[in-house]
A and B are shown apart, each in its own frame.
Chain A
């Protein structure tokens, strides 16, 4: 059923590319009659450019990047994307240099870090430098929210920088950065190297943290609906396979290969513990996740704050496309989430009031409810 050339899907070397990699390696794509070529990319900017020009048919993508590309906010012209599938939840973690741990102490909040920020300012020392993987990344918005809830203004009180995920440990060891937010296995890798400690995992602060999505352009989705459904079915089966505890060791070995993630298999296996690819509706793209991310993007003025958050969220995140594939496989429906507990410091985040939340968060900046 595939066309004259293989379907080319892009991914970045991270654990959450597991669904694409397992679908290829375990033959789920082939079982759907699909000829798929996985193409490893080295930067999110390149993924963005290749999606825009059609050099990639689909890609493993940071959810906020998919939203930003659709809005034309990611440094290129607007290309509407469709996300028929979420690829994982609970991938990101915040890691801080081991040498800072004695100063900031235990605890999952950034309160300890806030004391260090204040002390550095009194001493006239340079601000703390923290890294994320891309401006439009879940990591950037989780880290900013985490800092802001402790009263740290991410644009004024610390220095945020961008670095490739696989290079985080090296930058931590070299003292170039003092902490970062990245998806596994690169947090566990920094711990294994003795360079850092995980202060908080996404799941401990934002229950069932959204992370990557699978995207195609909206035009591709409309032009090739049968192939899109075949891709979605193969990836749903791959996600179920990857979640099975009996398969986790094999999955770690698979990801460890140099052409995929290229980290130690033991490190990868340990770092998979918290990650969910499919169970409990994890593969369903939930518009409320997109809405929370859009509200964070508006909060820090990374997008035009007057956009209709709910409309954009529902245009890019496509649970309808997911539902067709899930039904074809006899998998349970994933009911839409209306509330996210733990995504605001004072009250849960609701899709219906996303716009008001974004406006309030933008004016308050730190400690927004």
Chain B
């Protein structure tokens, strides 16, 4: 497991390393300042950041920018700030650790964070796929309607035309349908 701890205080990195003793292979790296290039080279499985680190904005934006390859983020939160941790989780932090954590719990917290992150990431990808599927189905419906109207076909026959086009060109049926709808627009003069 590769862990990057971004914290001005080296003590918490030591705590993380202690709590993960026995995990093989293990590499815990401490940085008082977050360096994007070094972090990319290191390729951590999880990033641990103190809530009072000025690098929080950078790490958060990185999560947005690298949506294709995001990392779970665990945050150390000061006990006195009630509710802050929950808000941070809403904002995309995978889990939080309240100050004063014992080394004994570090491993379970990081493991929960990583599995929760995988779950959320999976859900997000499913959602995006569902949205794309829905959009594609709507386009196929529009292309079918167009074929039925312009060529006087039955619904079943219109679908077969689309499916054949898809198979002949080796492209998804949604893409073929989108082209058809777009070209029809151009022919009618909507596209220029």
Contact = CB atoms under 8 A, between A and B. Distances in A.
B83 A46 contact: no
21 contacts: A43-B55, A43-B56, A43-B57, A44-B57, A45-B56, A45-B60, A45-B88, A49-B84, A49-B88, A53-B82, A53-B83, A53-B84, A55-B81, A75-B60, A76-B90, A76-B91, A134-B57, A134-B61, A135-B64, A163-B57, A164-B57
Contacts of B51: 46
A176 interface: yes
Interface in A74-124: 74-77
B128 to A, nearest CB: 16
Contact of A49 (B36, B53, B54, B91): B91
Contacts of A176: 35-37
Interface residues on B, range: 20 to 34
A133 B53 CA distance: 14
A53 B80 CA distance: 13
Interface in B58-88: 58, 60-62, 64, 81-84, 86-88
A104 B83 CA distance: 48
Nearest to B83: A53
Interface string B87-122: 110111000000000000000000000000000000
A347 to B, nearest CB: 26
A46 B92 CA distance: 13
B56 A42 contact: yes
Contacts of B52: 42, 46
B21 interface: no
B96 to A, nearest CB: 11
Given A49-B87, A53-B83, 14 more contacts: A45-B56, A45-B57, A49-B84, A53-B87, A54-B83, A55-B81, A75-B60, A134-B61, A135-B61, A161-B61, A162-B60, A163-B57, A163-B58, A164-B57
Contact of B61 (A52, A53, A162): A162
User: Which residue among B35, B57, B58, B81 has the maximum number of chain A CB atoms within 10 Å of its CB?
Assistant: B57
Contacts of B54: 42-43, 164, 166-167
Interface of A: 42-46, 48-50, 52-55, 74-77, 133-135, 161-164, 166-167, 176
B82 A55 contact: yes
A171 to B, nearest CB: 9
Contacts of A161: 36, 58, 61
A159 to B, nearest CB: 10
A163 B54 CA distance: 9
B83 A162 contact: no
Nearest to A166: B54
A60 B94 CA distance: 27
Nearest to A129: B36
Contacts of B87: 49-50, 52-53, 76
